[in-house]
Structure 1
Amino acid sequence: MRLDLTTLNLVLAIEQTRSITRGAEREHLALAAASKRISDLESRLGVQLFERRARGVEPTEACRALVRHIRTLNASLHALESEVVEFARGIKGHLRIAANAGAIAECLPADMASFLQAHPQIRISLEDMTSAETQAAVAEGRADVGVFTPPIVDNRLDTRNYSQGRLAVLVPDGHALAGRQSVSFDDLLDYDLVGLHAGASAQELMREQALARGRTLNARLAVRGFDAIAQLVEAGLGVAVLPQGPAQRFSQVFAVKLLRLEEPWAQRDYVLGVARVERLPTVVQRFVDALCPVAKEEKKP
């Protein structure tokens, strides 16, 4: 079955505007031609894509499933176009990486720099996402490689152990805990916590740990970026749990004290994930082998 891009983009436009008329206008099609395209597509697929209402249309579940694939296809086509154009500029590959904030702050930059030094004709783009968003981006083809912390929630990925990190605690200078070298999570639950936005792996982990203790996480302030967290802690607005790498750097810049978090779950594993396919693109395979050389040896017969 062949599906042309014009019709697929028309489906996407109608789903977004909830109107065949406005969808047709956005795709520069006559209304009659657009209606026929949708009718023909429904006949070929054997499903109804839109329910006609008095004030427009409503997508069916089948339509929503189709739209997800259309978005993935458009993302792949855009990446294809960008990569092919870059060959004319001397670029021999484009690697799209998605990673959580901890990986970007702790381990990924140095490895990316080493890889680019060895492969100067490859261009890398990096996007900061939560661990769950990173896994979805790789599985849906919006990223080639993902670096994140467990749990692994998408079984469409092939994963390898990549690196390890550790969570630490920042408290303001003069805080009741500032005179100590280490604290437990129970010690922190009596204070307001400054953390990342909802969905961030460390934030969700702390929420689960608090619930397991029958306590409530006093997450009063949520921001994007570890530097913002450090500044809020310095201002005395709470304490924070964040990766040890950036926490160590902030303790040298801001009026905050670095404490060790004495919890088993403070030790964190970073996982590298790629799409589960028979053969990875050469650029992706080179990057995986550079970051996870042990995995390469383990795959040999």
Structure 2
Amino acid sequence: MRFDLVTLNLVLAIAETRSITAGAQREHLALAAASRRLSDVETRLGVKLFDRRARGVELTEAGHALVRHIRSLHASLHALESEVMEFSRGIRGHLRIAANAGAIAESLPADLAAFSQAHPGIRISLEDLGSAQVLAAVADGRADVGVYVPPQHLEEGLRTHAYREALLRAVVPRGHALARRKSVDFDALLDHEIVGLPIGSSLHQTMLEHAQRSGRVLNVRVQVRGFDAVAQLVEAGLGVALLPAGVADRLQRLFDLKVLGFTEPWACRQYRLAVRDQPVLPTAVQRFIDALGAPAVPAPASPPSPSKTPRLE
């Protein structure tokens, strides 16, 4: 089955404006021509893409699937155009990385510096996102590589690679009752108010899940973005915290804190890389994965499902 970009762009415009008329106007098409194109593509696919309602149109399940592929296609075309144009400026590739704060603070800087030195022609951009947002950015094509912490729901069309392991440490004020210990378990931390990262961060989600499993309440007193802010609030006596070990050790030299070992089995976290699952990765992405020596993580077994792949003209 063959599609043209005009029709695909029209479907996306209708989905985003929730109106055939507005979608046609955005794509500079006459309403009659837009309606005919939409009717033709629905007939060829054998499914309805939109439910017509009094206040506009709503995507059907089939429509959602097509729009997801159209957005992925747009991202690929944009990446293609950007990468090819950069050759004219002497740049041999552009690597867009989205990563969670822990990876940026602990592991990525040295690896990015080494990669940049080995591949000076590849331009790197880095965005700080939560782990769930990282996976969404890779799935949507806004990032080429994502660095995240499981467990997160793996978006369809992605594959993962093992990257680094990192430990968690407990952080308490220097004069705190727990400061006399060398290490603590999670149950001991839950007896105190918590200074944490925002809802949606992988560390907050992990703490919340383990508190619920043990029948305890995660008593979060304050949530802030940024490890420095967490450290300052802990130093001020507003609570205790869990932080990545490398971050905690560094902040201990800047603030009046005590860093304790954390004895839970889940204190060891894994950073993983996520990339789009495609037969041939872009050159910059493949070189980055090779440079990190990041082995692929086998995907969970699932029954195959038939799918139709659109062909462009």
Provide TM-score, normalisation by structure 1. Answer: 0.89
Paired position in structure 1 for 2:148: 148
Deviation at 1:35, TM superposition (A): 1.5
Structure 1 CA distance, aligned partners of 2:258 and 2:283? 45
Q: Which amino acid aligns with 1:280?
A: L
Paired position in structure 1 for 2:244: 243
Q: Is the 8 A contact 2:75 2:140 kept in 1?
A: no
Paired position in structure 2 for 1:3: 3
> For each residue in 1:79-137, what CA deviation from the matched residue of structure 2 results, as whole angstroms up to 9, or x when unmatched?
12211121111100111222222111111110010010111100112222333333344
Q: Which amino acid aligns with 1:183?
A: V
Q: Which amino acid aligns with 1:46?
A: G
Percent identity over paired residues? 65
Q: Is the 8 A contact 1:170 1:257 kept in 2?
A: yes
Structure 2 CA distance, aligned partners of 1:28 and 1:157? 34
Does 1:216 find its partner at 2:217? yes
Paired position in structure 1 for 2:121: 121
Deviation at 1:186, TM superposition (A): 1.0
Q: Which amino acid aligns with 2:258?
A: K
Paired position in structure 1 for 2:111: 111
Structure 2 CA distance, aligned partners of 1:74 and 1:222? 36
Q: Which range is displaced more, 103-112 or 232-241? A: 232-241
1:1-301 to 2 correspondence within 5 Å? 1-151=1-151, 153-154=153-154, 156-292=157-293, 295=295
Q: Which amino acid aligns with 1:269?
A: Q
> For each residue in 1:175-202, what CA deviation from the matched residue of structure 2 results, as whole angstroms up to 9, or x when unmatched?
2223333221111101221222223222
Q: Which amino acid aligns with 1:8?
A: L
Q: Which range is displaced more, 133-142 or 13-22? A: 133-142
Q: Any idea what SS the aligned residue of 1:285 has? A: helix
How has the CA–CA distance of structure 1 residues 55 and 148 changed in structure 2, closer, same or farther, with 3 Å as cutoff? closer
Structure 1: gaps (5+ residues): 297-301
How has the CA–CA distance of structure 1 residues 21 and 146 changed in structure 2, closer, same or farther, with 3 Å as cutoff? same
Q: Is the 8 A contact 1:194 1:238 kept in 2?
A: yes
Q: Any idea what SS the aligned residue of 1:227 has? A: helix
Q: Any idea what SS the aligned residue of 2:58 has? A: strand
Structure 1 CA distance, aligned partners of 2:279 and 2:2? 24
Structure 1 CA distance, aligned partners of 2:236 and 2:6? 55
Deviation at 1:156, TM superposition (A): 4.4
Q: Which range is displaced more, 153-162 or 97-106? A: 153-162
Q: Which range is displaced more, 171-180 or 155-164? A: 155-164
Structure 1 CA distance, aligned partners of 2:67 and 2:158? 21
Q: Which amino acid aligns with 1:195?
A: G
User: How many residues were matched structurally?
Assistant: 295
Q: Which amino acid aligns with 1:273?
A: A
Q: Is the 8 A contact 2:72 2:139 kept in 1?
A: no
How has the CA–CA distance of structure 1 residues 217 and 110 changed in structure 2, closer, same or farther, with 3 Å as cutoff? same
Q: Any idea what SS the aligned residue of 2:269 has? A: strand
User: In angstroms, what is the RMSD of aligned CA positions?
Assistant: 2.1
Q: Which amino acid aligns with 2:95?
A: L
Q: Is the 8 A contact 1:76 1:142 kept in 2?
A: no
Structure 1 CA distance, aligned partners of 2:168 and 2:99? 17
Deviation at 1:37, TM superposition (A): 1.6
Q: Any idea what SS the aligned residue of 1:207 has? A: helix
Q: Is the 8 A contact 1:191 1:238 kept in 2?
A: yes
Structure 1 CA distance, aligned partners of 2:56 and 2:281? 43
Q: Is the 8 A contact 1:72 1:142 kept in 2?
A: no
Provide TM-score, normalisation by structure 2. Answer: 0.86
Structure 2 CA distance, aligned partners of 1:13 and 1:175? 57
Structure 2 CA distance, aligned partners of 1:79 and 1:241? 38
Q: Any idea what SS the aligned residue of 1:123 has? A: strand
Q: Which amino acid aligns with 1:143?
A: A
Deviation at 1:281, TM superposition (A): 2.7
